[in-house]
Amino acid sequence: MTKGDQEHRNNDTDSNDNQTFPIPASLRQPKLSGYEFYEKVLGSPKYIVAPMVDASELAWRLLCRRHGAQLCYTPMFHSSCFVKDIKYRKEALQSCPEDRPLLFQFCGNDPNTILEAALLAQDHCDGIDINLGCPQAIAKRGHYGAFLQDEWDLLEEIVSTLHQHLSVPVTCKIRVFDDVDKTIRYAQMLERAGAQLLTVHGRTREQKGPLTGIADWSIIKTVRESVKVPVFANGNICCIQDVHRCIEQTGVDGVMSAEGNLQNPFIFAGASPTIWDVSLEYLDILNEYPAPVGYVRGHLFKILHHLLLLKSNSKERDDMALAHSNDEFRAVVNQLAVKFKPYHEGIKPWTPEEKNDNNEDNVLDCNLKIPPWICQPYYRLPPEEHKQMMEEKVKLAESREKKQYFDKDGNSISRKGLKKLKRLERRAKVRNERLGEICEEDKCANTKGLKCEFNLCRHCCRNRCFENLVNCIGHKIFSTRCYDKRAIDAKDMENNREVDDDIMEAD
């Protein structure tokens, strides 16, 4: 084969790859169930990245897959928004050929709406997961997630509807009840309705936030022994050793990590990298697969959590909070790397610092066994200790003289109000900078378009495009046939007018 033939063949392969991704579910192998689905489609995964709202986006999934993750879930998406909002749906469906196997998670309480959303998503994933485990207040208001777990008839209808009409399997993520027997009957009901895989979070609906407590692996083990479909375990997974212990103690087919994964995306590789290595690799992936700034900032704050608690890093913490671009995020990470690499490499001795906390008599840094520049899990205090600590903080705050805050005019203001004023000032500054970019047309005071090829406002750009029969990609002046026709007609009229003027001059 000649070099030209080889290049032609490679181009054809690339073209085919682009054409066949995503692969329509109807063109794949017949829908499999249970362990056939787990083994042949998902590849018998043991290490699973959990569905996390505003967190398990494409860039994060790719980072995790590079370092041990064998299966990923999308963030939870609201089925109604997914059906109605094209922009919301487009962002949710962002993926690539390397992002497989992938399960797409929806929440909702209407079988037909969830089915409509799932039909739109099934070509982009290997299965549809129903969120029956979210315990947050927003799930209570929206009546979905764990707040459906008492409505078994509705859940059975939702699962069976998806099972009957989708070309990909349906799975469920659930929480347990205090009653073990009820949990078993709950899981078996979902299995009968058509769920081909269950993820069991070993906490109840009430265990959340500071009152999270410890997940009960024994209930997960009981569920695993009571159903015939694959079961994933979720809860208490902070390191690779927890993964192995969970599989050994429960007999589950895979282990899902959420918080542990957010603190250390290398968790399934059994590695503890430096926070700057992880952060910079994530930012590199974002160059190709962008994510909303809020997602990026949230990830970096979790990765850098222990380091940003130190008083010496107050500036970096503030800079991270104000950053709005990958370059700004990267600059903060590089600053931390410059400060702490000498300690990591043994050039300087490390002395623990005080945490950046409101308590003046705070204990030394974190009581960690490993230094704060290494990725590590965040351990929540037991609920009893948390309550005791909060009571002590309240007493301490009451015993101190209350700090007063003032605005620029010297008026007394609350701390929250002062923060809001500063935020508004920053927004005004950005707006003023934008207003400084004025249209370059003479006697025009409008703001120019950010993407305009001629540095004009839309009105002036439109006039120039019609006069010169050129197009502006930024303003998309000639994006429709109607505009094209009007521009041509305008040009013809101008030409005819010039001809008439020449004739009159000749006469």
Sketch the domain layout of the chain as residue ranges. Answer: 22-271, 283-380, 393-426, 458-506
Per-residue 3-state assignment (H helix, E strand, C coil) for 180-238: HHHHHHHHHHHHHHCEEEEEEECCCCCCCHHHCCCCCHHHHHHHHHHCCCCEEEECCCC
**Overall average pLDDT of the 191-209 stretch:** 94
Lowest mean per-residue pLDDT among 40-49, 146-155, 188-197, 408-417: 408-417
Residues 6+ apart with CB under 8 A from 269: 67, 68, 240
CA pair distance 171, 229, nearest whole angstrom:
10
Q: Mutual orientation of helices 275-288 and 326-344 as an angle, nearest 10°?
A: 160
Per-residue pLDDT tens over the stretch 305-332? 999 999 999 999 999 999 989 999 999 9
% the chain with pLDDT above 70:
85
Q: What is the pLDDT of residue 182?
A: 97
Buried b (16+ CB within 10 A) or exposed e, 257-274: bbbbbbbbbbbbbeeebb
**Overall average pLDDT of the 278-299 stretch:** 96
pLDDT > 80? residue 187: yes
Q: Is 452 labeled as catalytic in the residue annotation?
A: no
Assigned CATH for 22-271: 3.20.20.70
Q: Name the pLDDT band for 188 (thresholds 50, 70, 90).
A: very high
Lowest mean per-residue pLDDT among 69-83, 144-158, 274-288, 472-486: 472-486
Task: Select from 107, 236, 117 the least CA-distant residue to 174.
Answer: 107
**Overall average pLDDT of the 418-446 stretch:** 71
pLDDT > 60? residue 472: yes
Q: What is the pLDDT of residue 117?
A: 97
Neighbours of 461 (CB within 10 A): 24
| Mean pLDDT of all residues belonging to the chain | 86
Q: What is the pLDDT of residue 356?
A: 55
**Overall average pLDDT of the 219-224 stretch:** 97
Identify the residue with better confidence: 57 or 426.
57
Distances (CA, A) of 372 to 131, 307, 354: 34, 5, 12
Tokens of 445: 């005071």
Q: Name the pLDDT band for 486 (thresholds 50, 70, 90).
A: low
pLDDT > 90? residue 399: no
One of 107, 134, 172, 465 is an active-site residue; which one?
A: 134
Range with the largest mean pLDDT of 212-216, 341-345, 395-399, 461-465:
341-345
Q: Name the pLDDT band for 479 (thresholds 50, 70, 90).
A: low
Q: What is the DSSP letter of 175?
A: E
